[in-house]
Structure formats: structure tokens, C-alpha cells
Amino acid sequence: MAVRHDSMSALIGTPPAVHSTLAYTRTSEVEDLPHATKKKMADHLRKLEAMFTITPQRMRMIVEAFKDTLEAGLQKPAQVVPMIPTYVFGWPTATETGEYLAVDLGGTNLRVCLVRLTGGGKFEITQSKYRLTEEQKQEDGQKLFDFCGECLKVFIDVNIENGEITKGKILPLGFTFSYPCSQDRIDHGELIRWTKGFGAPNTEGRDVVTMFRKSLALHGVPAEIVALTCDTTGTLIASHYVNPATKIACIFGTGCNAAYMERVGDIPKIAHLGIDPDAQIAINCEWGAFDSFEHEHLPRTKYDIMIDESSNKPGEQAFEKLISGRYLGEILRLVICQLIDEGTVFLGQNTYKIEIPYSFDTAFLSLMESDPTDELLMIIGIFTHFFALETTLAERQFFRALAKLVGRRAARLSACGIAAIVSKMGYLEEGCSVGADGSLYNKYPGFAERIHEGLQDIFGEKGRNVVTHHAEDGSGIGSAIVAAMTKIRKDAGLYPNL
């Protein structure tokens, strides 16, 4: 049983978060504004259903293409889906113990953790979060890591004061960096490309561990980076630590990714390293890049293409742009904007607020889908409070149905990715557990159920053998366990240069 302690939630150089409460002023129909008929809204919905619905046959075709892409990534480097060997060897034994630091540079926050592994699948964690500004995501990369070092120094100083950390002790650190990196050892990683909206210059092509070590030295931080990992690999290790049936881990949040354990002999691109072919090594798929550039397999709509072309990485991260939390709200907003341009919705109203790119948060879709109230009061609240727009009942019903279409497509495509690994590894007959984490999986109504529905559409009844569950904390607990496993391995002289 994990014991979790949340310590301070700190901000350095950033304003405090503002929490808003949805408000609405009326629940009746808007009789004094022109609006579309229910029939016209139904006609639009039918067209959108045809665009966003993925049949079981199409899903199976995507799975086959996905499997081929995964295999290509294992064969040789520099493939679209890079299939990165993480140099995390084998599964944890649940006998790992000790104190470890974990730092997670995520898509929204920087998280710093002190983890005590007590053995037997148990642990204690103390943590703090620091909000990242949009400016920090785009400014010079070394400044971004300097901010991380500054936050870690503050965290350690506070925990020395309260007795959680012994003064003068240098703690091993697991660094969770959830962006695609090429690794030739576990404490090294050259950033291939930024994802999740990051664009910090002078970082791509450089070793992020070297950059972070420089920042730790700048701030005099008593920590030694032992392992670089991503949140997905950490999730795989942490989930297996407490549930040994776990064979795959997935993240469905601001970004999307998967990790699993592969036999070294089935990874031709690392044959030259002389590792035992029967050894197991965790693979960080970075599957958000599936079908990038060529766009041959995924059913992209015109709205998806608009998002891609206006993004900071056109052509890249094709799979991620269809299913991740960063983009689902924007997909729905673009549909609404087209209906505004056609004179279908919000007639006679000022729509400038909703015409701002990315102003429609994916969290709104979640609220819209979960709204069980008469006349969909939550949707009234979203549109009046955030966009100063009045809605009719027909519009609200349409928006809720549209949110379901976008969310269901994301879940079914997510199922395709899981099915590709399950099929490739031969897990279907005996079944397997998939540790899943991220805001979409955890908070979006029905997302997990739709993944399971998708797996059954792909595999038939045997799809029930593949079960997802809420994963353990990969970027905190998992990163610490990876650091512990690495220290044990190197102390034993096993592949010490990896």
C-alpha cells in the first residue's frame, strides 16, 4: 500500500493558478435570437458521425500498419516511431529499497519527488509541483533546465529543514523527461524533437542530462542523476512493481505514448552492444509519431489537417494529434467555428472568444459528456461563462453528441495502439494487464470503457483478455524504482557502461 504525502505546491517566478467556477444565468431557450432548427443540427451531426466513426474493419487495418511500424523501429534507428531502448533491464523485484529523488519535466508542470522504497511493493512519497509558463516552454533550453535545478534546490532545502532529507547527503536522482530522446546508455539522452507544444531552442540534438547536470551544479544541488527515463517507461516499471501482471504501460494525457518489455535478441539495431539476446529491455515506443509525414493509415478529417498544418511541428506526431488531450478541445472548436462561418450556430452573437485557437479546453469536452442535468446546464455554463455565448437546447444536444464523437474516436484509436503491441508480443491468448495513466484516461468519462470496447471490436471476445487499469505513478515512483534498479545493476558490474 502506497503512502502519499503532498508537501508544498510551489511556484517560482510564476503567478498562482486562478480557479474559476462555472456560472450561468438562465436555462430557458433563447427565443429572441435566430437559431438553427433541430433538423439542421441533426443533418450536421450525421455528416460528422461519418467523419469521426472508425469501423472495426478499419481499426484492424490500422493495427496491422501499427505492428509493421513498431517492427521497423526495432530493426534500425531513425524510424518514424523510434522504438527507443531505455537500458532499463528486466522487471523490478519489489525488493528495491532506499531514498531517491525524482524530477519530472512534464507537459504542464515540473514535479519534484522524494521517494522511499520500503520493499514488498511499498513506498512513501513527498512531492511538490511547479507550474511551467508558456514562455518557459519556448525560451532557451538551458534556462528551462536552470528553472528545474532551482525548483529542485528549493524542494531539497525545505525537506532538509523539516527533517525529511539528511543535510550533506547526495541522493540518486531519476530524471523523467517525457520527450523522444535517443539513448546509448541510461544516463544519457539526446532530444530528437520536442512534443506537447514545447519549442525551447538549443535543445534538440543535445544531451539533456548534460544540460540538467550543468543546472544542478549552478544551484549547488546535492543530487546525482543516475537514470534518464520517460513517464511511460516509469509507469511500466511502477505498475509492475505493485501488479506483476502488467506487461504494457500507456499514457493518455497532454501527449500519448506506450512502453513494454522486449527481448534484446528481437531488437536488431542494438545487436552490436553484445547484450545477452535473452535479456529483457524496456522499449519506449514514442508512438505519438505513428503515421507521421506520409499520413497513409490514420483517418484524418479536415479539422485534424488544420490542426497539423498550424502546429509548431507540421506533419509530425500524427497519432498524438488525433488522440491526446492537447488537441481534442481544439478539434471540437474548429467544428464549431466552421458552423459559425456557415451561419448555423450562434447567429447574431459575438463569437470572437471562441474563435481564439486552443481556447476550448479538452476539459470542457469531459464536462459536456458527463453532464446529466436537464437541458444540459453544464454546457450552458461553459458557453456563457467562458465565451459569452447563449445556446439553444438543440445546440447543446449537438455539442454534447460532437464531444462524444471526438472522445470516442480518440479512445478507439488508443485501442489500436494497445492492440498492435498485444498482437506483436502474442499476449492475447494468456491475456495481459495494461497500466494506463494521464488526464484523458483518468478524467474523461467513459474513455477506459471505450478502449475496452475497441479492443473487443479488434479481437472479438478474446479482446476481454486485455484489461487496462489505473497505473502507478510512473514519473515519481517509477523513476525512483528505475534509479534503484540501475544502481543495483551497475554496482553488480552488469553492463556498467550502459
More confident residue, 370 or 233: 233
- Per residue in 469-495, pLDDT (tens digit) is 999 888 889 999 999 999 999 999 999
| Position 315 pLDDT exceeds 50 | yes
Report the pLDDT value the prediction gives residue 34, as an integer from 0 to 100.
Answer: 59
Nearest to residue 351, comparing CAs of 364, 363, 362, 338?
338
Instruction: Exactly one of 193, 326, 333, 412 is catalytic; name it.
Output: 193
497: Cβ contacts below 8 Å, ≥ 6 apart:
185
DSSP string, 390-431: ---HHHHHHHHHHHHHHHHHHHHHHHHHHHHHHHHHT-TTT-
Q: What is the mean pLDDT of residues 434-445?
A: 93
Q: How many CA atoms lie within 13 A of 204 on its CB side?
A: 11
Q: What is the pLDDT of residues 319-349, one digit of tens each?
A: 999 999 999 999 999 999 999 999 999 989 9
Over range 364-374, report the average pLDDT: 83
pLDDT at 473: 82
Q: What is the pLDDT of residue 32?
A: 55
Percent of the chain with pLDDT over 70: 92
* Torsion sign across C-alpha atoms 75, 77, 78, 81: positive
Segment 138-154 mean pLDDT: 94
Nearest to 132 by CA among 109, 153, 149, 152: 109
Query: How high is the mean pLDDT of the chain?
Result: 90
178 is catalytic: yes
Q: What is the mean pLDDT of residues 358-381?
A: 87
Give the C-alpha distances (Å, rounded to integers) separating 55 from 303, 357, 457.
19, 30, 8
Please give the domain boundaries of the chain with CATH numbers for all domains: 25-82+244-471 (3.40.367.20), 93-243+473-491 (3.30.420.40)
User: What's at 177, amino acid-wise?
Assistant: F
Exactly one of 7, 178, 324, 433 is catalytic; name it: 178
Return the pLDDT at 106. 80
- Judge whether 301 and 53 are in contact, CB under 8 Å: no
231 tagged catalytic: yes
Task: Specify whether 193 is catalytic.
Answer: yes
Catalytic hit among 104, 187, 231, 308: 231
Q: How far is CA 71 from the centre of its chain?
A: 22
Task: Tell me the average pLDDT across 111-139.
Answer: 91
Residue 230 C-beta-side C-alpha neighbours within 13 Å? 34
The residues pairing with 259 across neighbouring beta strands, listed in sequence order, are 249, 284
* pLDDT over 90 at 2, yes or no: no
Question: How high is the pLDDT of residue 495?
Answer: 93
Pick from 130, 137, 128, 127: which is nearest to 109 by CA?
Answer: 130
Q: Is the pLDDT of residue 354 over 90?
A: yes
Phi, psi values for residue 169, rounded to 5°: -85, 130
